[in-house]
Amino acid sequence: AISIQNSHLYQEVRNSAEELKHSLQNAQQQSQELAEIIALSNGQKRILELITQELPLNTVLEETALYIEEQSHHPAYCSFLSLDAEGRLRNAAAPSLPTAYNTLIDGIKIGPNVGSCGTAAYCKATVMVEDIATDPLWADFRVALDFGLRACTSTPILGPEGQVLATLAMYQAKPGSLTPHDRKLIEVATYLARIAIERDRIQNEVKQAEIDLRQNKAFLEAQRESSLDGILVVSHNYEINYYNQRFLDIWKIPPELQNVRDYRSMLAYSMNQTVDPDAFLKRVLYLYEHINESSHCELHLKDNRVLERTSSPVNSSDGAYWGRIWYFRDITDRKRSETAIKQKSQALEQALQELQQAQLQIVQSEKMSALGNLVAGVAHEINNPLGCILGNINAVEDYSKDLLGAIALYEKKFPQPGKEVQKELEGFDLEYLQEDLPKLVSSMQDAGNRIKSISKSLSTFSRADNNQKQEFNLHQGIESTMLILRHRLKANKHRPAIEVVTDYGNLPAINCFPGQLNQVFMNILANAIDALDESNQGRDFAEIKTNPNRITIKTQLVDEQVKISIADNGKGMSEEVKAKIFEHLFTTKEIGKGTGLGLAIARQIVLEKHGGIIQVNSKLGEGTEFIITLPVGRDGDSTINN
């Protein structure tokens, strides 16, 4: 029984000893962890103090690297690499790594397979390599083995917007992964490095901003003093904050006022120099009552100078009103130059208009003269042989009647001619000849009369104008123009003939310059044919035949005015083209096909020569219509036969 009791007692003592041992181990572990926490805390505190001392960034990062190496449970070598704008890693701090190794890796380009640091920066994630000798990420960087480096863990240091600022690398002399303690060290060091880098960036930006501010201030001062403008700055409480020398010179401020900061004294002196002091003062007071308004005007001074005045409010970034800035510039010489230039410009514009009018008249005169001479010459050459032909046809008609009558009488009196005569008669069809010969003569007479009509139309078109208006049959002018253009209206291999539909009203003869109006009709009708040919592009013969090209001409008398409408069913024109269609030298045709003068001449003839109106109606896809309105301007009631 005693033995059993001692056994139980021994077991209890043993258990108590084990528990005490575990407690001591836990206490030791907790003590060690506490010591590590204290060491981490002290290290963080030391690094943060260095940061607040505004030491150079590389000094802070070197101390951070040494801090990690000191706190690690095994030999470790730390380095910081910063990322430049070109995506390359640059040495920032590596106090324990060989200088030769640091030189080798300085400037490497980040990428998906560029060691631990290059890959971490590229992927924005921690990269842990347990064995540099075998890991594919280090295939191009095995040189690290020559420096006794076998494992490397790299962590990117990210900025507030997720951008990579730098990398922190922990190298080990033996293969293997990091311990939880080392990972904690890296986490703390990354946090501290981020603070140091961001603080350094902010400090650099502040320093640069201060430099920029000083430079800008110097530039602004130089600019204000060298400005052509007189500058005056007045605060919200009407105190003068600044003025430049140019302001004093422009306003001729006397010395006794130059050191006065009271704006009212300066205002009173300036106001009395203006031609209209009351208006000047009223405008100034208005601007100070309406603090957010800007203003620009010209000031006329009693000494005949002219100043350009601009005023704007000066506000803070949050919109608070700080005051007002005034700019004054002497523009006396400029105003005189503007007046002289304006006068010269008006003279040049008048000369240009006269030149354009003369050009149009010359073109019009030469064009109509050449065409008129050609047409008149053709008509004259036709008329001479035509008179002979028509006269001889009448004689031929009489002779043929006599011959046919004699033959008929011979057949009646001698029904049985001799053999020789009979043989000759069998060589042709006498009966058919007797029937067809009158038809041939009649057809020749019709053709001759048609040629005579054409010649008359040509003469009408080529009718020369003199200094006096003449009574003229507009329909004859239109028809003669159509005759000239008939060859362009006929069918060709690309399209059927262009249909011409006329709807002539009962018009009186009008007093006009016939040759000039014929040219107007020629220009508009030729343009209509061009427009139809252009609209046919991309369409085949059958398609055009289904929806044929058409020109419609309509005339009517409305309130003692003659209206002539010439419309086509082409592709029409845009509003932009329509607005410029009568402008001098404006054309939509290809180079060599249009001069830009035709419709300008037509407008001049209608408006200036005849006191009429020419208008255009057009829409894309719906064709174009030109409407000419002319005053009758005649005596008597003679009208045009349709």
Q: Give yes or no for residue 138 having a pLDDT over 60.
A: yes
Q: What is the pLDDT of residue 505?
A: 93
Per-residue pLDDT at 636? 38
Q: Which residue has the higher pLDDT, 443 or 169?
A: 169
Per-range mean pLDDT, top range of 153-162, 213-222, 364-373, 475-484: 153-162
Of the candidates 605, 585, 603, 602, the one whose C-alpha atom is nearest the C-alpha of residue 594 is: 585
Q: Which of 149-158, 364-373, 414-423, 617-626 has the lowest mean pLDDT?
A: 364-373
Max CA distance (Å), the chain: 194
Identify the band that residue 635 occupies on the pLDDT scale cut at 50, 70 and 90.
very low
Task: For residue 193, count other CB atoms closer than 10 A to its CB.
Answer: 26
What is the per-residue pLDDT for 638?
40
Provide the pLDDT for residue 262: 75
Task: Assign domain 225-330 one CATH number from 3.30.450.20, 1.20.120.420, 3.40.50.300, 1.25.40.10.
Answer: 3.30.450.20
Report the C-alpha gap between 616 and 566 in whole angstroms.
10
Provide the pLDDT for residue 504: 94
| H or E element at residue 235 | strand 230-235
Distance in angstroms (rounded) separating the CA atoms of residues 139 and 134: 8
Which residues are within 8 A (CB) of 510 and not within 5 positions of it... i.e. 6 or more apart?
471, 472, 474, 562, 630, 631, 632, 633, 634
Phi, psi of 452 (to 5 degrees): -65, -40
Confidence of residue 299 (pLDDT cuts 50, 70, 90): very high
Of the given ranges (34-43, 305-314, 433-442, 589-598), which has the lowest mean pLDDT? 34-43
For residue 402, what pLDDT is reported? 76
Comparing CA positions, the residue from 598, 628, 600, 601 lying closest to residue 616 is 628
Question: Where is average pLDDT lowest: 74-83, 138-147, 487-496?
Answer: 487-496
For residue 539, pLDDT over 70 is answered with yes
Q: Is the pLDDT of residue 327 over 60?
A: yes
**The CATH number of 52-203 is which of 3.10.450.50, 3.40.50.10860, 3.30.450.40, 3.30.910.20?**
3.30.450.40
SS3 letters across 32-85: HHHHHHHHHHHHHHHHHHHHHCCCCHHHHHHHHHHHHHHHCCCCEEEEEEEECC
pLDDT of 365 > 50? The answer is yes
Residue 428 has pLDDT above 60, yes or no: yes
Given pLDDT bands bounded at 50, 70 and 90, which one contains residue 303?
very high
State the average pLDDT over residues 37-62. 77
The alpha-carbon radius of gyration of the chain (Å, integer) is: 54
- Whether residue 76 has pLDDT greater than 70: yes
243 forms beta bridges with 232
The pair of three-digit structure tokens given for residue 598, joined into one six-digit string: 């035709």
Model pLDDT, residue 641: 42
Residue 640 pLDDT class (50, 70, 90 cuts): very low
Q: How many CB atoms lie within 10 A of CB 427?
A: 7
Domain locations along the chain: 52-203, 225-330, 350-456, 467-631
Q: For Cα atoms 613, 616, 620, give the angle at the middle one, nearest 5 degrees.
A: 175
Please tell me if the domain spanning 52-203 has the same topology as the one spanning 225-330: yes
Please compute the mean of the pLDDT values over residues 210-215 and round it to a whole number.
84
Check whether 164 has a pLDDT greater than 90. Answer: yes
Cα gap 580→599, rounded to integer Å: 10
Cβ 63 vs Cβ 51: under 8 Å = no
pLDDT of residue 603 exceeding 80: yes
pLDDT the model gives residue 46:
81
pLDDT grade for 592, boundaries at 50, 70 and 90: low
Check residue 363 and give its pLDDT. 57
Higher pLDDT pick, 472 / 45: 472
- Report residue 626: phi and psi, to 5°: -105, 130
Model pLDDT for residues 475-495, shown as the tens digit of each residue: 988 988 888 788 888 988 889
Query: What average pLDDT does this structure show over 382-397?
Result: 68
Report whether pLDDT(377) > 70.
no
CATH topology of domain 467-631: Heat Shock Protein 90 (3.30.565)
17, two tokens:
């000893």
Report the candidate in 327, 328, 322, 299 with the shortest Cα–Cα distance to residue 239: 322
- Determine the pLDDT at residue 416: 72
Least confident of 24-38, 162-176, 318-332, 506-520: 24-38
User: Cα separation of 182 and 542, whole Å?
Assistant: 89
